């Protein structure tokens, strides 16, 4: 085999090697393209899910804020009622000490006791002061 034939054989082997490497690189490129498509699809799914979750969170957040406002208003009304009841009881205590020393009538002493909720009881209100 002459020197020229050896160079031609080396060139053919080199071209064959380049073709194999090219095929390997193409296969790797196709794998990367498939992975990229899968990752893009997953990313799109997660973005849509995130948007849906943000909308749901906003929905519940609006309702929780509205509920909190209602509860705050209710608590304010209860506090106002408790203050009025306390003022009425204090006023009744003052009226109980009459200047002429007359005792309350028997009707008032035998009046049935009403069931008073815990949050309106005087001892509970006085503890908060």
Q: Report which secondary-structure segment, H or E, holds 94.
A: helix 3-96
Encode pLDDT of 21-48 as tens digits: 999 999 999 999 999 999 999 999 999 9
Report the C-alpha gap between 124 and 1 in whole angstroms. 114
- Chain centroid to Cα 129, Å, comes to 34
Which residues have a Cβ under 8 Å from the Cβ of 86 and sit 6 or more positions away?
122, 125
Q: Are 86 and 125 in contact (CB under 8 A)?
A: yes
Q: Pick the most confident of 26-30, 95-99, 100-104, 107-111.
A: 26-30
Report the C-alpha gap between 46 and 52 in whole angstroms. 10
Tell which phi-psi region holds residue 25, choosing left (phi > 0), alpha (psi between -120 and 50) or beta.
alpha
| Residue 89 pLDDT | 84
User: Given a cut of 90, is residue 90 above it in pLDDT?
Assistant: no
What's this model's pTM, rounded to 2 decimal places? Answer: 0.46
Encode pLDDT of 43-83 as tens digits: 999 999 999 999 999 999 999 999 999 999 999 999 999 99
Task: Tell me the percentage of the chain whose pLDDT exceeds 90.
Answer: 58
């Amino acid at each position: 085999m002459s020197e020229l034939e050896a160079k031609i054989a080396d060139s053919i082997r080199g071209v064959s090697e380049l073709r194999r490497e090219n095929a390997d690189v193409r296969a790797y490129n196709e794998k990367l393209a498939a992975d990229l498509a899968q990752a893009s699809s997953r990313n799109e799914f997660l973005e849509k899910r995130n948007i849906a979750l943000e909308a749901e969170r906003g929905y519940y957040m609006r309702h929780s804020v509205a509920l909190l406002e209602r509860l705050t208003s209710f608590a304010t009304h209860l506090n106002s009622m408790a203050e009025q009841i306390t003022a009425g009881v204090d006023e009744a205590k003052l009226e109980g000490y009459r200047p002429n020393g007359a005792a309350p009538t028997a009707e008032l002493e035998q009046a049935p006791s009403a069931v008073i909720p815990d949050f309106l009881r005087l001892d509970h209100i006085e503890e908060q002061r």
